[in-house]
Amino acid sequence: MTRYILKRLLMMVPIILIVSFIVFTILSLTPGNPGQIILGATAEKEDVDALNHELGYDRPFLERYVNYIINALHGDFGLSYSNQRPVFEEIFLAFPISLKLSLLAILTAVLIGIPLGVLSAVKQYSLIDNICTVLAMVFASVPGFWLSLMLILLFSLRLELLPSHGMDTPLHYILPVFTMSVSSAASFMRLTRTSMLETIRQDYVRTARSKGVPENVVITRYALKNALLPVITVIGSYFGILLGGTVLTESVFALPGLGTLILQAIRMKNVPMVMGATIFLAGMFSIIILITDIVCAFVDPRVRAMYSNK
Amino acid sequence: MTGNLNLSKEILAEYFGDDEQDFKKRNQIGEVWRRMRKNKTAMLGLAVIIIFALLAIFAGFICDYDTMAIKQNVSIRLQTSSAEHWFGTDTYGRDVFARVIHGGRISLSVGFISVAISALIGGLLGATAGLYGGRVDNMIMRFMDAIVSIPSMLLTLALVAALGHGIRNLLIAITIGQIPAFTRVVRASVLSVTGQDFVEAARSYGTGTFRIIYRHIIPNAIGPIIVQATMSIAGTILQISGLSFLGMGIEAPAPEWGSMLAEARPIMRSSPHLVIFPGMAIVLATLAMNLIGDGLRDALDPKLKD
């Protein structure tokens, strides 16, 4: 198992390198130069050129990239163009907000999606199953930012129950977390339903029933354990996606998270900021997927056995 | 042996009607369509998307682009729904219905075209990875892993910033983000087919690689590709509107669902119709594509139907 984890961590290195190269290439295609951005539009051309030279911006593309990687390996990801602070300092300031939102959202999605999925499967083709299935389909198709607008319109502007922006009190979290969780909840519900329907038709479940095990125990203790295995993998990848996709929610609710930071950085062509944040998020994504795989191995003895044999 | 054959013929006759000749002629697509037609929600989705497509294609005939969707007419600003302006008018007195159907042109065309291109590129890469295996496979898949681990919104935002605004650049940005999904789908179906006995059998007859691809791999991969494409179009529609909502997609004054929402946002309290109608358009188009995708998946995989 340890060997497997180490191998996976090693595999992350080329992926992060490719990510950094892709993003570096895209950013170098973006019009504008750092000297102008740092000094502002009114700066003298000589000053701009001097600063560009100092930053190494006038060197060839590959040399700049290699320099960036060498510095990054020494833990130096550069200074943000907008305020001359180390980029990771900025990232660590903004990241907790996005992390908190994503964690709460994935938790909400699990708490809504899985029970409804189980209920739908157990009562297949009933009224409640039909309602849940239709709602899940609809909510999987609703853009989060539009849902946010609608909820703000209803709960903040009309009913004046919930705040529409900022994050001072727990009440502030309700709308952003809910809108972020909705499409994941819909996916979890659909997946749990399908998986549960497959599981409750299996022989061992029939055996349990014929032994006289009460139906609710059959569902919760026997069927659910196996039915949730495919759901766990999906929860992991959705969490990764949520974490990287907070930009729209943060923009609607005016939250100073990582998404907002990146959006501003992209607009400003703040290269070190975008690079740092992308590498950070890509690393987080890979680690989340790795943790998901490990969790899967822990809960499924069959998978665990596969690793220990190797 | 004969007993078995008779039995399967009976089953086939029951399933496809008595006409045996008819069964032989019926191709795969026809069969999928038969099963798809029984799925009411999928047909509803198809109907909705056809209506959207027709409205988008004939948008110019229904409402003139320049006079109704673009030209400002402050004397009739912020009207609610009426017989003359079905969805009301916006801050500049432009007809919201006209803007919604012209906006559909952008969302649907960018959605369909970008998915078609990414299916082609992703499909070729996936087939190459699956067929050649080893080093090539490893290289292609690691590259795809890298693209996937960049949050898709971030990738498209950065691409739009690099390439500049406009439909063509939006199309390129969105296409790149869609490629890995197709690469994975096609690679998986290539791998699942190449290991099977019938391909082995075809090889043993001396069938060439190209013929195996054409006769065995493509027919088996096409189903998953179509399902993925339908779902991707739904995702693309959401993504285009999200980008425009952030001001990084289509530039004003061109009508786009997402940018209409962004424009209407400050005044949504007094004029909720300005956020409701474009939003409903996004939801309906996305929902329709998702319903079709679901229906197709069921129709292509009879095992899922109980």
Q: What percent of chain A has pLDDT over 90?
A: 39
Which span out of A30-39, B63-72, B188-197 was modeled with the highest average pLDDT?
B188-197
Q: Give CA–CA dist B93/B61, Å, rounded.
A: 20
Closest among A192, A291, A278, A285 to A242, alpha carbons compared = A285
Which one-letter amino acid corresponds to residue A120? S
Q: How far is CA A137 from the centre of its chain?
A: 21
Written as one string, the DSSP assignment of B44-79 is HHHHHHHHHHHHHHTHHHHS-IIIIIIS--GGGTT-
Query: Can you read off the two tokens belonging to residue A80?
Result: 């943000």
Task: Spell A92-126 as b/e; 16+ CB within 10 A means b.
Answer: eebbebbeebbebbbebbbebbbebbbbbbbeeee
- Nearest-neighbour CA in chain A from B22: distance (Å): 34
Question: Is the pLDDT confidence value at A220 over 90?
Answer: no
pLDDT of residue A72: 87
Pairwise pLDDT comparison (B221 vs A287), residue with the higher score: A287
Question: Is the pLDDT confidence value at A5 over 90?
Answer: no
Task: Spell B45-55 as b/e; 16+ CB within 10 A means b.
Answer: bbebbeebbeb
Question: Is the pLDDT confidence value at B65 over 80?
Answer: no
Interface of B with A (CB under 8 A): 41, 142-143, 145-147, 149-154, 157-159, 161-164, 234, 238, 241-242, 245-246, 248, 261, 265, 268-269, 272, 275-276, 279, 282-283, 286-287, 290-291, 294, 306
Question: Is the pLDDT confidence value at A217 over 80?
Answer: yes
Which one-letter amino acid corresponds to residue B5? L
Q: How confident is the model at residue A136 (pLDDT cuts 50, 70, 90)?
A: very high
Nearest residue on chain A to B292, judged by CA atoms?
A: A137
Q: What 3-state DSSP class applies to B155?
A: helix
Q: How confident is the model at residue B16 (pLDDT cuts 50, 70, 90)?
A: low
A37-82, pLDDT tens digit by residue? 777 777 777 888 888 787 777 788 888 899 888 888 888 888 888 8
pLDDT of residue B8: 57
Closest among B163, B208, B213 to B193, alpha carbons compared = B213
Which span out of A10-19, B216-225, B262-271 was modeled with the highest average pLDDT?
A10-19
B187-202, pLDDT tens digit by residue? 998 888 877 888 888 8
Q: What percent of chain A has pLDDT over 70?
A: 99
Which of B150, B244, B257 to mutate to test binding with chain A, by most A CBs within 10 Å of its CB? Answer: B150
Beta-carbon contacts below 8 Å between A and B: 122
Written as one string, the DSSP assignment of B90-151 is -TTS-BHHHHHHHHHHHHHHHHHHHHHHHHHHHHHHHHHHHHH-HHHHHHHHHHHHHHHHS-
φ/ψ of A59, rounded to 5, equals -85, 165
pLDDT of residue B21: 46
pLDDT of residue B303: 58
Q: Which residue has the tokens 């691809």?
A: B213
For B251, which DSSP code? P
Contact B202, B212 (CB under 8 A): yes
Q: What percent of chain B has pLDDT over 70?
A: 89
Asked if A26 and B158 come within 8 Å (Cβ–Cβ), the reply is yes
What is the predicted ipTM? 0.86
Q: Give CA–CA dist A135/B287, Å, rounded.
A: 11
pTM, whole model, 2 decimals? Answer: 0.85
Residues 119-148 of A with CB under 8 A from B: 137-138, 140-143, 145-146
Q: Which domains does chain A have, with CATH numbers?
A: 93-308 (1.10.3720.10)
Which one-letter amino acid corresponds to residue A135? L
**Per-residue CA distances from A151 to A164, A177, B27, B34, B38 (Å):** 9, 12, 48, 41, 36
Q: Give CA–CA dist A198/A220, Å, rounded.
A: 15
